[in-house]
Amino acid sequence: MRGNGLIIPAIVIIAVIMVNLGCMQRQGSIRSETPLPKKVPPNVVIFQDNRVVVYRDIGATRVINKETGQEIKVSSSGAVKMIRNKTAAVPPLVGVSIAEGIKLVNNDEIHVIETKPGFKHLHSFPNPGKEKDKIIINKSTNTLYLYSNGELYKTYPIATGKDPQYTPEGNFSIANKVENHRNELKEQLGICWMGLSVPYEKDNRAANDDRAPMGKKYGIHGTNEPDSIGEYASGGCIRMSNEQAVELFALVDVGTPVEIR
């Protein structure tokens, strides 16, 4: 009887130990099945040549001049494209020649950096997404970006709505083009008009106004108030200087996509 009394507590202790081990194993298996958050390794080299090295860091891309140690830091980029012997007549950045440079591309932005003869950040602009003609209008900077076959062709300063809601946001297209040969346009519209097809639901100034989808309410046009360019001054249209409006008028066709953001 005394021996049996010792055996029973021993069995109980062993059982408790086995249960605890089982719990620990189960907990361990749960932890191992939970995916750990992926960390972007810092200082990953994504491009280099004899002049620069490009690192993708956490939340940024750094371009370092190998000779001088100068650094240019831009938003995180996933792709690097070479630019060589670009003349001022071809995009990106018509009017600017680049002997050597790089384009840093992510889903939202493209950065152009000259690496020869100088080392400087030339421009950053929205990524149009597809290789086609397009206009992107950024209300926060009052800038119009014109793209040709997916490459930035030129940028223009503009004026947008005096109230943030006046200039509609979304994806539209040029519905019509009108030149002021016979005083078809009001004086405040300058000398040319590119109407935007804005659907009813994007028109924040009136309900069911048929002029909006027909391209007769919102448009890109010149102005008789050149000092307003760069300001929030219009009733919802996109104002340009008359000279630049005429230039844009000649470069775009009816049906050209227009994104306002």
Per-residue confidence at 183, pLDDT binned at 50, 70, 90? confident
222 located within any domain? yes
Residue with tokens 């040969």: 181
pLDDT tens-digit readout, 139-165: 999 999 999 999 999 999 999 999 999
| CA 10 – CA 66 distance, rounded (Å) | 72
What is the pLDDT, as a whole number, of residue 41?
53
Counting Cβ atoms within 10 Å, is residue 54 exposed (0-12), middle (13-18) or buried (19+)? buried
Do 62 and 160 have their domain in common? no
Whether the predicted pLDDT of 23 surpasses 50: no
Range of the domain at 66: 44-126
138 located within any domain? yes
Do 237 and 142 have their domain in common? yes
Strand ranges inside 158-256, DSSP E? 160-161, 170-179, 192-196, 219-221, 232-234, 238-239
**Residue 32 or 116, more confident:** 116
Whether the predicted pLDDT of 16 surpasses 90: no
What is the pLDDT, as a whole number, of residue 42?
65
Do 156 and 206 have their domain in common? yes
9 located within any domain? no
What is the set of active-site residues? 221, 237
**Amino acid at site 171:** N
Do 253 and 179 have their domain in common? yes
150 CB contacts (<8 Å, ≥6 apart)? 128, 130, 131, 132, 134
Do 159 and 181 have their domain in common? yes
Whether the predicted pLDDT of 12 surpasses 50: no
- Domain-terminating residue out of 92, 126, 160: 126
25 located within any domain? no
Do 116 and 160 have their domain in common? no
pLDDT tens-digit readout, 197-222: 999 999 999 999 999 999 999 999 99
> What is the mean predicted confidence (pLDDT) over 65-84?
95
- Domain-terminating residue out of 105, 126, 147: 126
Do 140 and 252 have their domain in common? yes
Of all helices (H) and strands (E), which one includes residue 235? none
Count: domains in the chain: 2
Residues, the chain: 261
Whether the predicted pLDDT of 25 surpasses 70: no
Do 175 and 83 have their domain in common? no
Measured in Å, how far apart are the chain's first and last C-alpha atoms? 88
- Domain-terminating residue out of 100, 126, 152: 126
Do 142 and 248 have their domain in common? yes
Per-residue confidence at 113, pLDDT binned at 50, 70, 90? very high
Going 211 to 217 to 222 to 225, the CA torsion angle's sign is positive
What is the pLDDT, as a whole number, of residue 143?
98
| CA 176 – CA 188 distance, rounded (Å) | 18
183 located within any domain? yes
> What is the mean predicted confidence (pLDDT) over 81-100?
96
Do 85 and 139 have their domain in common? no
Do 99 and 175 have their domain in common? no
Angular region, 71: left φ>0, alpha ψ -120 to 50, beta rest: beta
> What is the mean predicted confidence (pLDDT) over 226-234?
97
Do 57 and 147 have their domain in common? no
